[in-house]
Every structure is written in structure tokens, then in C-alpha cells.
Amino acid sequence: MNLDHVFVCGHPALDFAATLRARRTVRFEMFVTPERLNAWYLDCELVDTITPGDEHGLREAKTVREAVYRLVTDRRLGEAFDREALAVLNAAARKPPVTPQLTTTGRRNAATPGQALATVARQAVELLGGPDVPLMKECGNPECTRVYIDRSRGLRRQWCGMESCGNRIKAAAYRARRRTPPASAAR
């Protein structure tokens, strides 16, 4: 599987939760090292620079990620929030976030991994307590477990992204139709 970070969910907290892919099947972990976690913070443009992380910070980020995923799932399904996941998220959100600084060359977001995680946790709090909750959907690809914000006209989006899942599903359906003889030819 590709190790490139993909940002198709429409919200940073959802993209963060999607870093453990294919949760129902082969489960593919994107955050295998502190460096991969820091790369995600940089790639999603949460920070411009970040100090090196460690294994403790990596474990904490995975714990917060799983809490976010659980709370997103609870909210999406209209269920009460899991209390343990809620406590994990709120504890992370209470920590100091990334603080932008103005420099002679413009705005700069330098942070520690802990500050970056606190910022993602705050974004998750805003999402889960905000107006976009009714727009959250899970990808229509049965192997994908990404949740995304559906801002399409008519709210008819079916996949987290066309490149990542939509094209695969459409191509598989096309191949299946091509293999099946027309009903009139079967007589």
C-alpha cells in the first residue's frame, strides 16, 4: 500500500482518523514511526516545522486517533459518545496547541509533536460539536473506512475520493458487467 498521506476527508481530524486504513480488513498503519507522524503534521500543513518526536508521542497520537475515530463513528451513527474516548480527546485538546508566530518573512507555525496533536484534538472537538456532523459519511467502498464531509450538491457523494476509491469501485463494476452476458444472449 502507498505510504503517501492522502487528504480527501474534508477535515483534518477526519484525515487524521483515516491514517489507520482498512480497519475492517487488513488494517494498514500509516504512523509506524515518530517521523511518519511528523511527516503527516507537515503534509497536512498543520505546521511548517516540527521538533523530532519519540515513541511515547507516537503511542499518544495513536490513542487520540482511535478516540477520534470512535467518537466520529458514534456521532455519525447517532449513538452516545463513548466516555473513555471522550476523556482521551478532551485531555489532548486541553494541552497547548500550535501557536502561530509572525516573523520578518511571514507567518510561521513551529511546534512540538504534542502541540500538533493538541491542535488536531481541538479540530476534532470543533468538528464533533459543530454544524458539519450531518455531512459526515463513511466511504461506500466496503474495504475503506474513511469518513468524509459530503459537501456535494444534493449530498450524493459516495466515496472518500474518486482517485482513492471511486475509480476502483467503478472499474470493478464495469469489469463485472463486461463478464456477464446480456440477458437476451443467455436464452
Identify the CATH number of the domain in which residue 80 sits: 1.10.3300.10
Domain-embedded: residue 44? yes
Q: What is the pLDDT of residue 2?
A: 40
**Residue 125 to residue 12: CA distance in whole angstroms:** 11
Residues 15-45: pLDDT tens digits?
Answer: 999 999 888 888 889 999 999 999 999 999 9
Residue 161: the pLDDT is: 76
> Does residue 187 fall inside a structural domain?
no
Query: Residue 127: its pLDDT value, please?
Result: 98
Is there a domain that residue 176 lies in? yes
Kindly indicate the confidence band of residue 181, based on its pLDDT and cuts at 50, 70 and 90.
low
| pTM exceeds cut of 0.75 | yes
* Mean pLDDT of the region 68-75: 98
CB-based burial, 85-105: b 16+ in 10 Å, e otherwise: bbebbeebbeeebbeeeeeee
How does residue 1 score in pLDDT terms, banded at 50, 70 and 90?
very low
Q: Are 65 and 73 in contact (CB under 8 A)?
A: no
Residue predicted with more confidence, 187 or 36: 36
Residue 7 domain-assigned (yes or no): no
Confidence of residue 78 (pLDDT cuts 50, 70, 90): very high
Number of compact structural domains in the chain: 1
Q: Tell the burial category of 78 from Cβ atoms under 10 Å away from its Cβ (0-12, 13-18, 19+).
A: exposed
Among 22-36, 103-117, 140-154, which range has the highest average pLDDT? 103-117
Largest CA distance in the chain: 78
Indicate whether 6 belongs to any domain. no
pLDDT score at 140:
87
The yes-or-no verdict on residue 129 having pLDDT over 90 is yes
**Domain encompassing residue 114:** 12-182
Q: Is residue 2 part of a domain?
A: no
Percent of the chain past pLDDT 70, that is, above it, reads 86
